[in-house]
């Protein structure tokens, strides 16, 4: 996402290149970056291998949230069991120690897995803004969920050269059009 | 040998085409979405009517059981766990394989999983739902089922016993259900988006809501792939833990026939075996009902039959080990339990189990048999039956004759119990049929990834020297952008 400006709200033009092939999309992204275009995003019908690397996206930090969830699960799961066994309602079962750790392992493990999984998915939903709604406004054309690949280039400043963009589009066989659907 | 095989072999022996004919991306979308949009045929309606009738029977009999009491079942003081707990373990076993298949095959980068994973995951959800019903109605007062969870109450608060395997089961199965559901749904998100962008009207709006505004941006795909991989990595040990814990319900008690350390691996192997059999049953139905022969190919069936053969032999080995250890222990109770299992009053059940689980899968040594749809269907049904009997044998035969001959009984299920089992099949198939009717049973986006890899695989295989004719993939590491289908790079 591009940074939001506090003043001078203006319609920013976004140019969309539409392709019908994953390899040529990766090629186009490579050329556009080389030529200094501001790549807004690329929309694809499936996870195109290496596309995130070509776009220069940093790896997702989502696994850290999985770790947080897992750690929280162990802490809460074990902590709650230990508290009920030793403090809230200790039970003498066959003279065994109150805090019989091996017996607490299964529930601790399950709570760790549960929270790790839920934290991962919740992070995906929050970070990618997934919530019940219709077609998202960010999607440039509907066919990106079928067989089209859309590269969205942001017209960042006066140095933007539409002729050059058309040249790249021509080289990779893309179908370019302008769409200004966003106000910054 | 089918036609697509000859095509692939002419290119390179290393490269095996998973989706024959290399359809275009929009062809994939149309072929998978087509049957959903066109509506079901007569076969589907026939299957649905049968399943819904069975479900209705089940609902009536469950209502009768709850209204009258557990006395309408054939249980007594000796056999306190009978038909219902057998069904519970049976369904949990089937449920466990779905996520195992999907997650383990993902971690091991088996590209052929693409076509079967979604159905297997759906099977898991519905099977665990069926399983969950049985312990709840077995309580007799199902409206108090929430007592199994620790919650602040006015009785102390008195907590649940965290040292009991039955309580571990509650946590294991609820966690398993939630994680499986989430894994399935996350995989479905981009596919619901595809349906949203195709279907007009109120149905399109429902798909829109279900797709949570998925837009296919690269950043979202990156997170989506990472989430899928993490969920698979979490689900794999989870599956093993859950069926291990189910086996603890038996293994930690001191009854001969139950009190044995082999039960955890035995249960896990049995779950994979029965689950693969059920996936096979369902996929053979689905490819016929939804016309997905191009995506669920004889190659897929062949691989599943091989898994069935392997796990069947693991299960057979476990049966032999059990008998040997019973003899080797020199413990008269243990020896009696197994002698009684094979040659006692329920001996027929034991031999049905051996025939269905050990003998029947041996036909899959033949490559022809592995590609024979009719034979596969019959064999998968046999395995389902055999695995149901395995659980019956463990539970009922062990209970009916324990240490004290004066308390021996002969348990016979009542018609109510039999009807509830039929009803659980009704629930399972009703849910599954509705699922194949309204949701893409083969994942659009995963098939498209497989196609892209197939294209690359063909190019690379042609460029490089053939290394091994057996490998059909070119290797990958756990890279950042490993895809849900196992991103293949070279």
* Whole-angstrom distance, CA of residue B444 vs CA of residue A177: 27
B217 closest CB neighbour out of A123, A133, A138 = A138
Residue A152 lies in a domain: yes
Contact criterion met (CB < 8 Å) for A89 and B445: no
Q: pLDDT tens for residues A26-35? A: 888 888 888 8
* Whole-angstrom distance, CA of residue B128 vs CA of residue B167: 17
Q: pLDDT tens for residues B65-84? A: 999 999 999 888 889 898 99
Q: What angle do CA B112, B113, B114 make, to 5 degrees?
A: 90
**DSSP calls for B410-449:** -----HHHHHHHHHHHHHHHHHHHHHHHHS-SS-HHHHHH
For residue B275, is pLDDT > 60?
Answer: yes
* φ and ψ of B82, to 5 deg: -125, -115
Query: Choosing among A69, A110, A123, A148, which should be mutated to test the B contact, i.e. which has the most B CBs within 10 A?
Result: A110
Bridge partners of A80, per DSSP, are: none
Contact criterion met (CB < 8 Å) for B221 and A57: no
| pLDDT bucket at A157, cuts 50 / 70 / 90 | confident
Looking at the structure, tell me whether residues A39 and A84 fall in a common domain: no
Contact criterion met (CB < 8 Å) for A118 and B178: yes
- Yes or no: say if B422 and B58 are a contact pair by the CB < 8 Å rule: yes
| pLDDT bucket at B113, cuts 50 / 70 / 90 | confident
Establish, for the pair of chains A and B, how many residue pairs have beta carbons separated by less than 8 Å: 218
* Whole-angstrom distance, CA of residue A8 vs CA of residue B418: 73
Q: Provide the residue range defining the domain that includes A144.
A: 11-60+139-183
Looking at the structure, tell me whether residues A120 and A72 fall in a common domain: yes
Contact criterion met (CB < 8 Å) for B175 and A111: yes
Looking at the structure, tell me whether residues A15 and A52 fall in a common domain: yes
Looking at the structure, tell me whether residues A47 and A87 fall in a common domain: no
| pLDDT bucket at B9, cuts 50 / 70 / 90 | very low
B241 closest CB neighbour out of A80, A109, A117 = A109
Q: What angle do CA B55, B95, B120 make, to 5 degrees?
A: 95
Q: pLDDT tens for residues B294-346? A: 778 888 888 889 989 999 999 999 999 999 999 999 999 989 999 999 998 99
In angstroms, what separates the C-alpha of A22 from chain B's closest C-alpha? Answer: 8
A47 closest CB neighbour out of B172, B231, B483 = B483
Task: At B397, list the tokens.
Answer: 């035969």
For residue A36, is pLDDT > 60?
Answer: yes
Looking at the structure, tell me whether residues A68 and A52 fall in a common domain: no
- Yes or no: say if A86 and A98 are a contact pair by the CB < 8 Å rule: yes
In angstroms, what separates the C-alpha of A89 from chain B's closest C-alpha? Answer: 7
CATH at A56: 3.30.70
Looking at the structure, tell me whether residues A66 and A53 fall in a common domain: no
For residue B362, is pLDDT > 90?
Answer: yes
pTM (two decimals): 0.87
Contact criterion met (CB < 8 Å) for B212 and A66: no
Looking at the structure, tell me whether residues A92 and A48 fall in a common domain: no
Using DSSP's 3-state secondary structure scheme, residue A178 falls into: strand
Bridge partners of A177, per DSSP, are: A16
Length of chain A equals 184
Listed in sequence order, the DSSP H helices in B13-69 are 25-38, 42-68
Looking at the structure, tell me whether residues A111 and A166 fall in a common domain: no
* Whole-angstrom distance, CA of residue B131 vs CA of residue B121: 15
* Whole-angstrom distance, CA of residue A82 vs CA of residue B162: 9
Task: At A37, list the tokens.
Answer: 């275009």
- Yes or no: say if B294 and B19 are a contact pair by the CB < 8 Å rule: yes
- Yes or no: say if B134 and B85 are a contact pair by the CB < 8 Å rule: yes
Q: What angle do CA B120, B184, B89 make, to 5 degrees?
A: 50
Counting the structural domains of chain A, the total is: 2
- Yes or no: say if A172 and A153 are a contact pair by the CB < 8 Å rule: no
What mean pLDDT value characterizes chain B? Answer: 83
Contact criterion met (CB < 8 Å) for B219 and A93: no
| CB within 8 Å of A43: residues ≥ 6 apart | A139, A140, A141, A144, A149, A150, A152, B215, B216, B217, B218
Helices B114-138, B263-289: crossing angle, 10 deg rounding: 120
How, if at all, do strands A38-43 and A175-183 pair? unpaired
Looking at the structure, tell me whether residues A52 and A36 fall in a common domain: yes
The secondary structure element, H or E, covering residue B88 is helix B83-107
Nearest of A125, A70, A114 to residue B211 by alpha carbon? A125
- Yes or no: say if B105 and B113 are a contact pair by the CB < 8 Å rule: yes
Looking at the structure, tell me whether residues A50 and A73 fall in a common domain: no
Query: Choosing among B230, B243, B457, which should be mutated to test the A contact, i.e. which has the most A CBs within 10 A?
Result: B230
A85 closest CB neighbour out of B162, B453, B480 = B162
Contact criterion met (CB < 8 Å) for B197 and A145: yes
Contact criterion met (CB < 8 Å) for A81 and B162: yes
A107 closest CB neighbour out of B171, B196, B205 = B171
Q: What angle do CA B77, B268, B167 make, to 5 degrees?
A: 50
The secondary structure element, H or E, covering residue B24 is none
C-alpha A170: how far from chain center: 30
Phi-psi label, residue B81: left if phi above 0, alpha if psi -120 to 50, beta otherwise: beta
Contact criterion met (CB < 8 Å) for A116 and B230: yes
Looking at the structure, tell me whether residues A143 and A56 fall in a common domain: yes
CA nearest to A93 within chain B: B163
Q: pLDDT tens for residues B416-465? A: 999 999 999 999 999 999 998 888 888 888 888 877 777 776 655 444 44
Domain regions of chain B by residue span: 32-150+161-453
Looking at the structure, tell me whether residues A52 and A100 fall in a common domain: no
CA nearest to B173 within chain A: A110
Percent share of chain B, pLDDT over 70: 89
Residues of B in contact with A131 (CB under 8 A): 212-213
A132 closest CB neighbour out of B209, B235, B488 = B209
Residue A4 lies in a domain: no
- Could you tell me the CA-to-CA distances from B241 to B121, B200, B247, B428 in Å, in that order? 18, 44, 10, 24
Residues of B in contact with A89 (CB under 8 A): 156-159
For residue B88, is pLDDT > 90?
Answer: yes
Residues of B in contact with A99 (CB under 8 A): none
Q: Using omega within 30 degrees of 0 as the cis cutoff, is the peptide bond preceding B171 cis? A: no
Contact criterion met (CB < 8 Å) for B231 and A93: no
In angstroms, what separates the C-alpha of B130 from chain A's closest C-alpha? Answer: 21
| CB within 8 Å of A85: residues ≥ 6 apart | A91, A98, A99, A100, A104, B162
Task: At A141, list the tokens.
Answer: 């054309």
pLDDT at B471: 37
* Whole-angstrom distance, CA of residue B15 vs CA of residue B24: 19
pLDDT at B483: 40
From A110-114, B14-18, B164-168, B222-226, the region with the lowest mean pLDDT: B14-18
Task: At A17, list the tokens.
Answer: 């290149």
Residue A2 lies in a domain: no
In angstroms, what separates the C-alpha of A81 from chain B's closest C-alpha? Answer: 7
C-alpha B90: how far from chain center: 10
Task: Answer whether CATH 1.20.1630.10 is correct for domain B32-150+161-453.
Answer: yes
Residues of B in contact with A129 (CB under 8 A): 213
Contact criterion met (CB < 8 Å) for B157 and A146: no
Residue A101 lies in a domain: yes
Q: State the ipTM, two decimals.
A: 0.87
């Amino acid at each position: 996402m591009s940074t939001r400006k506090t003043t001078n709200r203006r319609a920013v033009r976004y140019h969309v290149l539409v392709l019908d092939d994953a390899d040529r999309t990766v090629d186009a992204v490579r050329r556009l970056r080389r030529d200094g275009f501001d790549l807004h995003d690329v929309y694809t019908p499936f996870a195109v291998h290496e596309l995130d690397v070509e776009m220069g996206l940093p790896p997702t930090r989502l696994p850290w949230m999985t770790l947080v969830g897992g750690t929280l699960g162990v802490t809460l799961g074990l902590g709650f069991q230990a508290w009920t066994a030793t403090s809230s309602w200790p039970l003498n079962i066959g003279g065994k120690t109150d805090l019989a750790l091996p017996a607490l392992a299964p529930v601790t493990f399950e709570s760790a897995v549960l929270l790790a999984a839920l934290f991962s998915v919740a992070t995906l939903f929050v970070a990618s803004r997934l919530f019940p709604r219709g077609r998202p406004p960010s999607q440039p054309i509907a066919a990106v969920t079928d067989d089209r690949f859309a590269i969205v280039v942001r017209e960042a400043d006066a140095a933007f050269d539409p002729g050059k963009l058309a040249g790249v589009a021509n080289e990779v066989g893309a179908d370019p059009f302008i769409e200004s659907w966003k106000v910054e | 040998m089918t036609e697509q095989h000859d095509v692939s072999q002419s290119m390179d022996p290393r490269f095996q085409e998973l989706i024959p004919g290399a359809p275009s991306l929009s062809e994939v979308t149309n072929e998978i979405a087509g049957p959903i949009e066109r509506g079901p045929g007569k076969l589907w309606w026939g299957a649905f009517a049968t399943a819904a009738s069975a479900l209705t029977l089940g609902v009536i009999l469950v209502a009768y059981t709850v209204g009258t009491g557990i006395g309408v079942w054939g249980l007594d003081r000796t056999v306190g766990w009978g038909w219902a707990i057998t069904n519970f373990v049976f369904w949990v076993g089937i449920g466990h394989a779905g996520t195992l298949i999907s997650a383990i095959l993902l971690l091991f980068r088996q590209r052929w999983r693409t076509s079967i994973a979604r159905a297997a995951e759906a099977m898991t959800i519905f099977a665990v739902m069926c399983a969950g019903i049985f312990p709840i109605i077995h309580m007799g007062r199902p409206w108090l089922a929430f007592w199994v969870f620790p919650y602040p109450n006015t009785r102390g608060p008195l907590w649940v016993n965290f040292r009991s395997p039955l309580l571990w089961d509650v946590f294991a199965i609820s966690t398993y259900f939630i994680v499986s559901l989430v894994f399935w749904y996350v995989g479905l998100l981009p596919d619901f988006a595809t349906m949203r962008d195709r279907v007009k009207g109120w149905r399109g709006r429902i798909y829109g809501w279900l797709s949570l505004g998925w837009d296919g941006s690269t950043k979202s795909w990156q997170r989506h792939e990472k989430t899928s991989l993490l969920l698979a990595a979490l689900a794999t040990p989870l599956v093993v833990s859950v069926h291990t814990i189910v086996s603890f319900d038996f293994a930690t008690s001191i009854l001969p026939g139950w009190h044995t350390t082999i039960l955890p691996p035995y249960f896990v192997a049995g779950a994979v075996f029965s689950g693969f059999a059920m996936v096979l049953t369902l996929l053979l139905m689905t490819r016929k009902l939804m016309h997905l022969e191009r995506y669920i190919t004889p190659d897929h069936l062949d691989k599943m039959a091989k898994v069935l053969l392997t796990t069947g032999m693991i299960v057979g080995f476990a049966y032999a080990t059990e008998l040997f250890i019973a003899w080797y222990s020199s413990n008269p109770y243990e020896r009696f339990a197994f002698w009684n299992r094979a040659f006692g009053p329920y001996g027929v059940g034991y031999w049905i189990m051996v025939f269905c689980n050990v003998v029947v899968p041996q036909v899959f040594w033949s490559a022809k048999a592995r590609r024979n749809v009719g034979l596969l269907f019959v064999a998968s049904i046999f395995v389902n039956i055999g695995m149901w009997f395995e659980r019956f044998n463990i539970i009922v035969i062990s209970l009916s004759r324990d240490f004290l001959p004066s308390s021996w009984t002969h348990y016979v299920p009542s018609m109510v119990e039999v009807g509830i089992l039929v009803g659980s099949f009704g629930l399972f198939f009703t849910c599954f049929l509705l699922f194949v009717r309204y949701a893409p049973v083969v994942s659009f986006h995963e098939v498209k990834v497989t196609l892209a890899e197939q294209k690359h695989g063909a190019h690379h295989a042609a460029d490089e020297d053939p290394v091994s004719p057996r490998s059909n993939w070119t290797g990958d590491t756990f890279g950042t952008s490993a895809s849900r289908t196992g991103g293949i790079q070279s």
